[in-house]
Structure 1
Amino acid sequence: MNAPVTLLALLIEAMFGYPDWVARRIGHPASWMGRLIALLDRGLNREAEDPALRRRAGVFAVLILVFVVGVAALMVERSLLLLPLGIVAVAILASTLLAQKSLYAHVARVAFALESGDLQAAREAVSHIVGRETAQLDEAGVARAAIESLAENFSDGVVAPSFWMVLGGLPVAAVYKAINTADSMIGHRTARYRDFGWAAAKLDDLVNLPASRLAALTIVGASTFTPGASAANAWEAVGRDASQHASPNAGYPEAAMAGALGLSLGGPRRYDDLHVDGAWMGDGRRDAAASDIRAALALYACADAILVGIVALIAILIAIA
């Protein structure tokens, strides 16, 4: 059942996304998980305690999060499957854990702002999809940030939930989403979260490891079918640069995207008051522009289609086995 549900979820999300009117009325599953994470943060993260105790509290918080989300998703999945066309209902719910359509829209908004000559609007648009400081970015910096976010979020927001959904259905995909949300909220190297967020950050690294490699492979494969992209350069960049990234996972899709498009991505960036001297992914141009964002979106769309094709093939093979 897992592969057909994943296939349906991918198709539903690609066509409809997560409607704004639904988000306004009931929020989003990630926001529900975020409320639980914030509650655990307020209740367990005591800054007066020593680092070892705060790290244990962070481990306990992640265990509670995983248990609550996993059990809730399992109960919902089993209840829905008792209904007529229950598999469709599960797929609709599972589609909320994916971000194909919204990711494309957010990145395209950055390209449109740059094409309109409105750098300030482009900075504002890209600030919604990256964690770094964007106020001082020039046009090339904004374009690179958008493309980097597209590559990384293809892995985190599309490939990873699909991967875990195929393996374990809605409950496992929901647990993945909870871990990923926890990492984005408390997995920072700040004074407040260096110890309490340690477990969330490490677990997120672990659960994203297979998907980041698969995302890079799909981008390399998509480069074969995308005009102007180079599969050979993408493969070379992954082998040369991906392991140099500060993240054990983000470098793989970023390097593949950079190599495919003849760009250099990554490099130094600023997060609030923290300067990160990041490695460069790819050895191409650094002066990216709106046209490069459009090329990245075309490559992303092709890579996403390959992912959908892989899931469809798995579903067919399981059905005839």
Structure 2
Amino acid sequence: MSLALSPSSTPTLALIALAIEAAVGYPAPLYAAIGHPVTWIGAVIAALDRRLNHDVDSFARRKAAGVLALIAVLALTGGVALAIVLVLRAALPGAAALVAVAVVAASLPAQRSLDVHVRAVADGLDAGLDAGRRAVGMIVGRNTGVLDGAGVARAAIESLAENFSDGIVAPLFWTAVAGLPGGALYKAANTADSMIGHRTPRHEAFGWAAARFDDLVNLPASRLAALWLMAAALVVPGASAAGAWRAIRRDAGGHTSPNAGWPESAMAGALGFALAGPRVYGESLLDAAVMGDGRRDLGAADIRRALTLYRVALGIQAAVLAVVAVAIG
């Protein structure tokens, strides 16, 4: 079996992809020329939403249509990913095919862009509240117009913690488990949830399958993300691994999401913050639980502390993956 498909090579594939993404991200000229896999998957989901999700249909019929749409998206994404692997395997020798597949897989995690966007919020807050609101509006869906400076900082740190889990740890985990098809299937599921998995009148039925499936596939990554953040707290000055553990045990299960509470509570407990809590989406107030029992009056310096913890957690994750790759390979 080619290295590009061998189960023993998938951790190595994930590690190479992670290194490529850390070095160059997803280049802007490439995005301008061909878009991004998420935009391609999103276009398919939007088309299925228009075609299958009809207001006149019953709740049960729309729910069934959502199941069908999710299966179609996963089948198409997985099929394309497997075809890419097979084509590269046929065209290139083993090690070269592995690297070529890793270049494609590097489009799945978003560690570099997450760092850039969260850092921009800290820089924006330094320039003023309006700039901070504009920057955080690029990474959160809540109503940023009602946020004060502390609210902007909390939103950025919450997004950093949650996206560390579902934007980096999860696609890396599934790539390490099942290669490019595994990572691509996860990305399709996560994109479907972000587009149609909300409990709105239009998507409560149609997006049910996407939301539940995303909860399932994010379960291992959310726990791993909390573990990496807790481990990072052991070496980051001023952070507390014990505080992270206490916050996870006390608060993670109280989050509105079965997964987001794990990295958010770990981040909050490690740094002595109190994150989440009530927030506004559009005109609606979401009365959510608080993660952590520390300070809520946060600022740009606290965002940068969270970024430091995040970067160390990335390093720990890469080191563990390297050990797994060597052990299995």
The two structures share one fold, judged by TM-score above 0.5 = yes
| Residues paired across the two proteins, number | 318
Distance 1:115 1:62 in 2: 42
1:96 corresponding residue in structure 2? 107
1:172 Cα shift?
1.0
Are 1:4 and 2:21 matched, yes or no? no
Are 1:129 and 2:139 matched, yes or no? yes
Q: Deviations over 1:275-315 (max 9, x none)?
A: 21000000000001100000000000000111111110110
1:113 corresponding residue in structure 2? 124
Partner SS for 1:237: helix
Partner SS for 2:145: coil
Partner SS for 2:276: strand
1:274 Cα shift?
2.5
Q: Which amino acid aligns with 2:108?
A: L
2:278 corresponding residue in structure 1? 268
The 5-angstrom pairing of residues 199-278 of structure 1 reads 199-278=209-288
Distance 2:250 2:286 in 1: 20
2:64 corresponding residue in structure 1? 56
Are 1:181 and 2:181 matched, yes or no? no
1:161 corresponding residue in structure 2? 171
Are 1:191 and 2:201 matched, yes or no? yes
1:294 corresponding residue in structure 2? 304
Partner SS for 1:201: helix
Q: Which amino acid aligns with 1:263?
A: F
Partner SS for 2:277: strand
TM-score (norm 1): 0.98
1:81 Cα shift?
2.1
1:77 corresponding residue in structure 2? 85
Specify which of 13, 16, 33 is matched with residue 24 of structure 2.
16
Are 1:39 and 2:47 matched, yes or no? yes
Partner SS for 1:275: strand
Partner SS for 2:146: coil
Q: Which amino acid aligns with 1:108?
A: R
Q: Any unmatched runs of 5+ in structure 1?
A: none
1:78 Cα shift?
1.5
Q: Any unmatched runs of 5+ in structure 2?
A: 1-8
1:119 Cα shift?
1.1
TM-score (norm 2): 0.96
Q: Deviations over 1:166-216 (max 9, x none)?
A: 110000110100000000000111100010001000000000001000000
1:156 Cα shift?
0.3
Are 1:312 and 2:322 matched, yes or no? yes
Are 1:147 and 2:157 matched, yes or no? yes
Distance 1:181 1:96 in 2: 14
Distance 2:165 2:265 in 1: 12
- Identity fraction in percent: 56
1:143 Cα shift?
0.1
